Chains A and B, each alone.
Chain A
Amino acid sequence: MDMSVKKKLGLKEKYALMTRNLGWEPSYEKREDVYPLLDYEGIKIHDWDTWEDPFRLTMDSYWKYQAEKERKLYAIIDAFNQNNGHLNVTDARYINAMKVFLSAVPALEYNAHRGFARLGRHMGGVGPQVACQMQAIDEMRHCQTQIHSISNYNRFYNGIHDWKHMNDRLWYLSVPKSFFEDACTCGPFEFIIAIGFSFEYVLTNLVFVPFVSGAAYNGDMGTMTFGFSAQSDEARHMTLGLEVIKFMLEQDPANLPIVQKWIDKWTWRGVRLLTIVAMMMDYMLPKRVMSWKEAWEIYFEENGMSLFKDLARYGIKVPDCVEQIKKEKDHLSHQAWTTFYAAAPMTNFHTWIPSDDELDWLSAKYPDTFDKYYRPRFEFFREQAEKGERFVNPNLPQLCQVCQIPMLFTEPDDPTQIAYRQSEHDGEKYHFCSDHCQHIFDNEPEKYVEAWLPVHQILQGNCFAEGDDPSAPDFDPIASVMKYWHLENGRDNGDFAGSEDEKNFAAWRGMTTSNT
């Protein structure tokens, strides 16, 4: 009898059959009509077939592993809800870190989905098409699981009852929103450098350390779980980012200056975006995993530099902005938290003055700067609060035209001086937080003059609640803007001490340990 043994396909063979062989050359349409976006950025690709996905993940395995991840995730989310998991967090102040995350990130995931879906269609070879399509589905999954996770918290805590509405309107949320919209309006190659390389590869580790490890450390099983589930896709995304950059650089030496310019731009854009993460790590996690500065040193200075050392063989240089970032690591989180503290009536989360222990921790982690520049500010805030004159900045801040962050950063070499840059375009003045944001603007002014800056929009009268009459004698502009954002001053924001969140958490936690 003929016993034919059915040999299992090797990974490389399977990848060839189930990915590469899915493509075809068009016969009755011109290639440039099928892929119309590949030329205008100036990137030259000579042979799309030399691309290979190092994970060699085929669609059948993809679905199998993704289904497994979802099963694990939803089992834990159910358990979290059945056990009132939100009451196990270290301290209810922690929930405010989640408010920031859940207000900002689901919309980013959705935009990442849109960006990669577009690339899945427009990349010129089947290898990157399939990898981008997988990432597009991943990002949709991240968006959905995060939206599900919002309901673990917004049933109990204030400020995130209408995250999508706020994401499109609230001042600080325009920072992440405009970052991704900037990327999505780039050509396909710049998009993948922006998101796949600069954001996913160079910076993503700085995000998951505070969110995932930080959530675990602070007893938040729900967040740890969706964080890990999303993160498990990230290694594949990072690898795609790195492969794309190598591929572009290997295809044609003329690609180098274009790629370098994008790396410089998007490293800076990403680092500016992470200002808010710096603040969360140093101020919003009651149990600290590590300081922002430490995370920066491990994941950027050590790991990021290994990457740039590796890419040096293609002629890639470390972005110029790294010099400035090095100087800012001692200041960033403190400048951001003091800004949010002072802007308390205009946010969707609570702020607080760090406790004495926490101030000491900050002094120890930032020996060169904290006692000298920042501790006195918190002591001043505390004195004011004790006198019943809680410090609030009543003004709308000037925003950087590029990163959209309020002008809160100081000069790299003088932490007592706010940095301020200005360019003119078509007779109008534009303001920037730094040389690097200014430089980005000066390279593409036509793009960045279009920015929707929340403060400008408020001042132009475009952000008042429907039906309010700005010419009425008793018109209160700030109250009207809050209504437009769907926020209730004092309930959704302001001091954590004395808040409804604080009282509810204490009462509910009490109920879990007593019978009354």
Chain B
Amino acid sequence: MSNVFIALQTNEESRYIVEALLEDNPTAVVDEQPAMVKINVPGTLVLRRETVEEKMGRPFDLQEMQVNLITLSGHVDEDENEFRLSWND
């Protein structure tokens, strides 16, 4: 199964997004690089709004992630509750 990934700028908001990703994707692997953090997950990655809100302690709109996003890989599917990346192989 191929990996999907998402890379974010290292900052205070991304820290909670990464925490949420690690909680919701048990097979996730974190790769820290200069000023950026890349999360690799086999097959499918999911980011849940509720989990991020819990970590941040405030309401969060998943589209806010666009401000800190660097790159990603996989097919995107997003609604107000979940952001998903996956390969269909």
Contact = CB atoms under 8 A, between A and B. Distances in A.
A56 B45 CA distance: 18
A306 B34 contact: no
A61 B35 CA distance: 26
A63 interface: no
A72 B73 CA distance: 25
A390 interface: no
Contacts of B64: 65
A25 B2 CA distance: 41
A208 B73 CA distance: 14
Contacts of B5: 303
B51 to A, nearest CB: 18
A289 B69 contact: no
A217 B34 contact: yes
Interface in B41-89: 63-64, 66-80, 87-89
Contact of B71 (A56, A57, A238, A312): A238
Q: What is the size category of the interface that chain A forms with chain B?
A: 35 or more
A10 B34 contact: no
A186 interface: no
Contacts, number: 96
B73 to A, nearest CB: 5
Interface string A202-218: 00110011001110110
B78 A11 contact: yes
A469 interface: no
Nearest to A214: B34
Given A65-B63, A309-B2, A235 B69 contact: yes
B66 A236 contact: yes
B63 A242 contact: no
A61 B88 CA distance: 29
Contact of B34 (A57, A213, A303, A307): A213
B43 to A, nearest CB: 10
B76 A232 contact: no
A312 B34 contact: no
A212 B63 contact: no
Given A12-B79, A54-B75, A213-B34, A306 B87 contact: yes
Q: What is the size category of the interface that chain B forms with chain A?
A: 20 to 34
B36 interface: yes
Interface in A431-449: none
A10 B67 CA distance: 21
Given A213-B36, A309-B87, A234 B73 contact: no
Contacts of B70: 208, 212, 228, 231-232, 234-235
A235 B87 contact: no
Given A232-B66, A306-B3, A310-B89, A205 B71 contact: yes
B79 A213 contact: no
A429 interface: no
A305 B31 CA distance: 20
Contact of A289 (B33, B71, B80): B33
Contacts of B77: 54
B9 interface: yes
A204 B71 contact: yes
A307 B73 contact: yes
Given A306-B87, A307-B73, A232 B67 contact: yes
Majority DSSP secondary structure for residues of A touching B:
helix
Contacts of B87: 306, 309-310
A12 B68 CA distance: 23
A345 B26 CA distance: 55
A310 B85 CA distance: 13
A302 interface: yes
A98 interface: no
A224 interface: yes
A387 interface: no
Contact of A11 (B34, B36, B80): B80
B67 A235 contact: no
Nearest to A236: B66
Contacts of A208: 70-71
A289 B34 contact: yes
Contacts of B4: 306
A447 B4 CA distance: 38
A69 interface: yes
Contact of A310 (B2, B67, B78): B2
Contacts of A30: none
Contacts of A309: 2, 87, 89
B76 A239 contact: yes
Given A303-B5, A306-B89, A310-B87, A57 B63 contact: yes
Interface in B1-50: 2-5, 9, 33-36
Given A11-B78, A213-B34, A306 B73 contact: yes
A313 interface: yes
Given A11-B78, A54-B75, A213 B69 contact: no
5 contacts: A209-B33, A212-B35, A231-B70, A232-B67, A313-B88
Please give me the 3 A-B residue pairs with the lowest Cβ-Cβ distance, nearest first: A306-B2, A216-B35, A54-B76
Given A235-B70, A310-B87, 8 more contacts: A55-B76, A209-B33, A213-B36, A235-B71, A289-B33, A289-B34, A306-B89, A310-B89
